[in-house]
Structures are given as C-alpha cells and as structure tokens.
Amino acid sequence: MSKRWEDWTAQETTDFQQVFLTWYQQEKRNLPWRYNQDPYRIWISEIMLQQTRVDTVIDYFYRFMETFPTIQDLANAPEDKLLKVWEGLGYYSRARNLQTAAKQIMEEFEGEFPTTVEDIRSLKGIGPYTAGAISSIAFDLPEPAIDGNVMRVVSRLFCIEADIAKASSRKVFDEAMRKIISYDQPGEFNQAMMDLGSSICTPTKPQCELCPIQNFCQAYQEKRQTDFPVKSKKQKPKDVYYIAGIIENNQQEIFLQQRPESGLLASMWLFPLEEISAARFEELQERYDPNRWDLFSDALIAEDSPELFSTEAVVWQKKILGEVTHVFSHLRWHIIIFYGRNTAPLTLEGQWVRPNRFSNYVFPKPQQKMLEVFENNLADDKD
C-alpha cells in the first residue's frame, strides 16, 4: 500500500499544520468542554461523545458536571443516581466504566487524573482514541486521537485504501497521523481534525470548496473524494421481538420490573417484557386491531399464548396500545405494547410504582419510548 505521507517534506508538513491550525482558530466550535484543559471535563465529554451527537451531549454534559463536579464525587456516587443523570444517552456501560475509572483514580493515582498515555490507557473504558484525545488536549502530548472523523479526513488526504472497518487498519492511520500532527499544538490539531470531519469532510457530499486543506488533499486533486474512506459493510443488527405489558392496579400504580445486574440494560427498569417469535409477533399485529377497545377474552389464552397474557391476575384490552422499535449496536428490538388491569395478586417479580415516582427509576430508551406511547394514549382518552 502506498504511504503518501512519507513523500511530504518537512516544509510541506509545516505548511499544512499552519494552514490547518489557522483555520481551526477562526472556525472552531464553542463547546463547554473546550473552555480549559481540565482532564476530567475532557474525559467526560469524550466518553459522552462516543456514538452520540455533539448537540445531544451538551445538555447532558452540563447536568453531569453540575451533579458530579469532581472525580471524587463521581467515584462516590450511588449507581442509580449516576444512571439517572445518564438516562437517555444510551450505551450505559459507558457510565458504569466512568465510575469504575474514577474509583481507580482515587485508589491508584491519589485522586489526580494520570498524566501519561500509559496510565490513562489503564483506566476502565479508555481506549486508544480517548487516551489520545485526553493526553493531547489536557497535557499537550503529541498523541493522535483517531476516530471515524479522523480516519475519513486522513484517508482522503492521502488516498488510503485500508478498510477502516478493520481494527488492523488503525496502525496505518496512526502512522500517518504521527507524520502530520503538530508537536507544538497537538490538542488543537486533534480537535481541528474532529471539527473538519464533522462539518466539512463529511461522509457524503463533502464540502471541498470550503475545506482549508484542499490544496494538500490527494483525493481532491484526483477527484476521488467519494472513494474514501474504504469501509466494508457492517453486519446488520439482529431482530428480536417482544410483547410488553403495561399493567395498572386500582391505586393507579404501574408494574415495573428490573433487569438483571449484568447484560444489556443492566439494573434498569421496564414494563414487563416477553420475547416471542417473529411469526407470533406478526400474528398479534394482524389479530388485534388498534381501533378496538373491548377486553381480551379466552380467545387469547391458547396453548401458544405468551406467558404474560396467560396470567389470571390481569385483564387485557383487546387492542394493541402501540409499537416501538429500538436499535442497539447489535440488536433491533420490536415491541408490541398491550394494556391490562390487575385483578388479583401478581406472581411476577417487580414493583408497583405511581407514575409521578417514575423519575426515581432509571429508564432505558426502549422504556422511555413505551412510556411515551402510554402517555399519548392517556391523553387521547381525555380528549
């Protein structure tokens, strides 16, 4: 594979850095974690920005820093409080890893954020990109911060044919970045790469006419911008099908169940869910017209009925309350929602909770979507 960055002279590299950093100083985004070089703030922001848009992260960042202003506050926080502040950002293992790493810092680094790349990498949940971002921005270390934006920019800059979907390709981009990164302003350089990739050198329809480094870009010179980056298709998420039961008792309480302590959505609260087959899911879709409001009868209680429907402690409406879909990185949940009234003691494990107390429980995104369906139906009833 051609390594075009090796052909750059020292003067070309200097010229590139000067043009690029001048553009960044003029155009950089005004973001709350860029006000200073506090490694704690930078760390929190970088973890939040994983798989999440900048405009979504800003409010969460402010709320997080207000609730946990120091590493010690984060280390000592009750997990349910931490997850509640994180609620809605998704990928909740990020929040748990943050707390684990905060405890590491308190125990292994006397409460001070580590200052070397090796020590930063030793913290739970911190990989090469995050370590590069923190070490360069907070401590001025010339470490590349290589994420999807950076690989896209660099692949076009040097017409790199390496498949960015393969982990082995990171070495190629690391080598190229170490050739061009500014040793005087590495943090500014990495952030310039992030901003360029998110605003101008975008995945589709890059705005090359606005790009400050177009004169250095090999793909632009060869009119091959859309050929890069090279990326093989990722595997589609697996479809999983559920029914959800919103069960209400005579005290206007709703039944919630807590997920296991490990695994997907660990320790979070949802309406009762039961996995069913795709065929059963389609059958329920066809069978229960959402415009009907009469109650479920014995017709539903067949040998192949979902267990949730078979309990004699609930009378179900013969109506689909709504449907939601939620995509995780590897799974796509399809959920049909039904409403039922509790008529006898439930044998299910869980808690009865009044809706005005929901704010005390950590709800993952699928639960928030289901709750919205329920609330919309309540609003419709009152119209």
CA distance 254 to 352: 5
DSSP class of residue 265?
T
Catalytic residues: 46
User: 337 pairs with which residues across the strands?
Assistant: 244, 322
Terminal Cα-to-Cα distance of the chain (whole angstroms): 66
CA distance 366 to 265: 10
Tokens of 246: 């919103």
CA distance 171 to 164: 10
CB atoms within 10 A of CB 165: 13
CA distance 21 to 193: 10
Q: How far is CA 83 from CA 79, 255, 263, 333, 379, in A?
A: 6, 20, 15, 21, 29
Nearest to 241 by CA among 269, 283, 280: 280
DSSP annotation string for 315-366: EEBSS--EEEEEE-SSEEEEEEEEEEEE-S---S--EEE-GGGGGGS---HH
CA distance 145 to 182: 12
CA distance 190 to 132: 9
Under 8 Å CB-to-CB from 13, ≥6 apart: which residues?
179, 180
Contact 271, 370 (CB under 8 A): yes
Tokens of 180: 């061009």
Helix 10-27 crosses helix 186-199 at what angle (to 10 degrees)? Answer: 70
Helical H segments across the chain, by residue range: 10-27, 39-48, 54-67, 71-76, 79-86, 93-108, 117-121, 128-139, 148-158, 170-180, 186-199, 218-221, 278-287, 307-310, 365-382
